[in-house]
Amino acid sequence: MGSSEDNPRKPHKQTHIKSKLKILLLVILTNILTIYIFTSPSFKFNLSDYTRNLPLWDLHTLLQQQNTTQKEFSASTTQIAELKQKLATATSLLETLLSELAHFREDPSTNTGDWGGELSSELKLLVGPHKLPLGFSPNMGTDEIYPPMGAGCRKFLDELNQYTSYDVGGECPVDNVFSQRLMLKGCEPLPRRRCHPKSPVGYVEPTPLPTSLWATPPDTSIIWEPYNCKSYQCLIDRPKTKGYRDCKDCFDLQGREKTRWLRDNGLDYGIDDILSTKPPGTVRIGLDIGGGTGTFAARMRERNVTIITSTMDFDGPFNSFIASRGLIPIHISVAHRLPFFENTLDIVHSMHVLSNWIPDTILEFTLYDIYRVLRPGGLFWLDRFFCRGSQLNTTYVPMFNRVGFNKLRWNAGLKFDRGVQMNEWYLSALLEKPMS
């Protein structure tokens, strides 16, 4: 699986389909030609031609012949009618075929020949299309549905085939590391659709709210297979130099998590201070991008604000942990287009995650997307964005300006790591989408 590059293109599949279609067309054309010859004006039954060679002196024979002729004539008429019908059928079949052929050419996603290799039968279904019942298309603007699948999946056919080779109706393979790597390669959304995830053994009912907001769930509530740690205590105790460096102690709900966003001090803004920049109760729904174990959402929940937390499961069961707190995790990468409609959210927050490790173009996509989903007057709280000092004024400030946010608060400062000054800057900012 590893870092496999694009597969060498194998065009034989496409050629195969093309030659099949060619043969089919040839057969139909031959049939049409035959029908045409037999029904064309030159094949009219001509009685006078027929009688010209008869011996006129034999009236009886002539009558007999005429009788036979009449029978043959009516038989021929029936035959011609049948042939005409066949021609009509063949023509409509040909029209259908031609339109499907055009469809194949127009839409690369249905052209399995472009995949550069064989697709399994399940993968063919996962790619689609799937026809809608007649009469539905006027409402939806399409007469077929394609199951969504990240365009990046197409570049890694071996991995895609591996990922979709599950037993339909059976248990899905536990392969989070592999599947998240696929997501980062642009195979997002992932295409696995018809298997059951493995269930943890000994799952117990969740802790009720509001206690669940600050409760660590029992170890039996999740599958530990994909992680180095096999218990929540291990996640809390793991060495601070290893693992996901910006969320190294965020599973410890009694530690630093307990005090985050409670005080307003320099680069660290307080939740209540941020909420008070807007009329009471008007910040109600939002998103925390890369929200770790969900503590931001928990604090907001205590203030009756509903926050969805996006997170990947690198080095830890972040999604399950957030859900166990009674909060909503959403499993999307930072490159994913936000799954919200435009002008809808009151607030978007992100701490540490949006920073200079993200390629500039992807970061700009994300910033525009945050702007898109925020409602007019919505808040974007950029919390401890880090970068090198030289990047701040040359790359990032112009980028924020390009996207078009208003600046309500802005704090930049040198980064210190355990008292040691690093050659990195932190930026915290409260930005606002203009009202118009």
Ligand X SMILES: *[C@@H]1O[C@H](CO)[C@@H](O)[C@H](O)[C@H]1NC(C)=O
Residues that bind ligand X (CB under 6 A): 63-64, 67, 303-304, 389, 392-393, 425
- How far, in Å, CA of 380 to CA of 383, rounded? 9
Q: Residue 214 or 365: which CB sits closer to ligand X?
A: 214
Retrieve residue 289's tokens: 């991008």
Q: Residue 232 or 396: which CB sits closer to ligand X?
A: 396
Least separation in angstroms between residue 67's CB and ligand X is: 4
Residue listed under structure tokens 């929200």: 291
Least separation in angstroms between residue 297's CB and ligand X is: 15
On the question of a cis peptide bond just before residue 210, with omega within 30 degrees of 0, the verdict is yes
Least separation in angstroms between residue 321's CB and ligand X is: 24
**SS3 (DSSP) at 330:** strand
- Say if CB 150 and CB 189 are below 8 A apart: yes
- Say if CB 96 and CB 102 are below 8 A apart: no
Q: Residue 236 or 412: which CB sits closer to ligand X?
A: 412
Least separation in angstroms between residue 262's CB and ligand X is: 14
Q: Residue 64 or 231: which CB sits closer to ligand X?
A: 64
Least separation in angstroms between residue 392's CB and ligand X is: 5
Retrieve residue 149's tokens: 């699948």
Least separation in angstroms between residue 326's CB and ligand X is: 15
Retrieve residue 205's tokens: 């009912």
Q: Residue 67 or 137: which CB sits closer to ligand X?
A: 67
- Say if CB 116 and CB 9 are below 8 A apart: yes
Least separation in angstroms between residue 334's CB and ligand X is: 24
Retrieve residue 1's tokens: 């699986």
Q: Residue 4 or 393: which CB sits closer to ligand X?
A: 393
- The residues with which 300 forms a beta bridge, in sequence order, are none
Which residues have C-beta within 8 Å of that of residue 139, sequence separation ≥ 6?
none
Q: Residue 185 or 388: which CB sits closer to ligand X?
A: 388
Q: Residue 166 or 425: which CB sits closer to ligand X?
A: 425
Q: Where are the alpha helices (DSSP H) in 148-211?
A: 157-163, 176-184
Strand order in the sheet with 374-387: 328-330, 306-310, 285-289, 345-351, 374-387, 420-432, 406-417
| φ, ψ (nearest 5 deg) of residue 429 | -150, 145
Q: Residue 126 or 347: which CB sits closer to ligand X?
A: 347
- How far, in Å, CA of 385 to CA of 405, rounded? 16
Least separation in angstroms between residue 50's CB and ligand X is: 16
- How far, in Å, CA of 79 to CA of 254, rounded? 90
Least separation in angstroms between residue 243's CB and ligand X is: 30
Q: Residue 199 or 304: which CB sits closer to ligand X?
A: 304
Angle formed by the axes of helices 59-106 and 12-39, nearest 10°: 150
CA angle (70 as vertex; 66, 76 as ends), nearest 5? 140
Closest C-alpha to 396, from 436, 432, 355: 355
Least separation in angstroms between residue 325's CB and ligand X is: 17
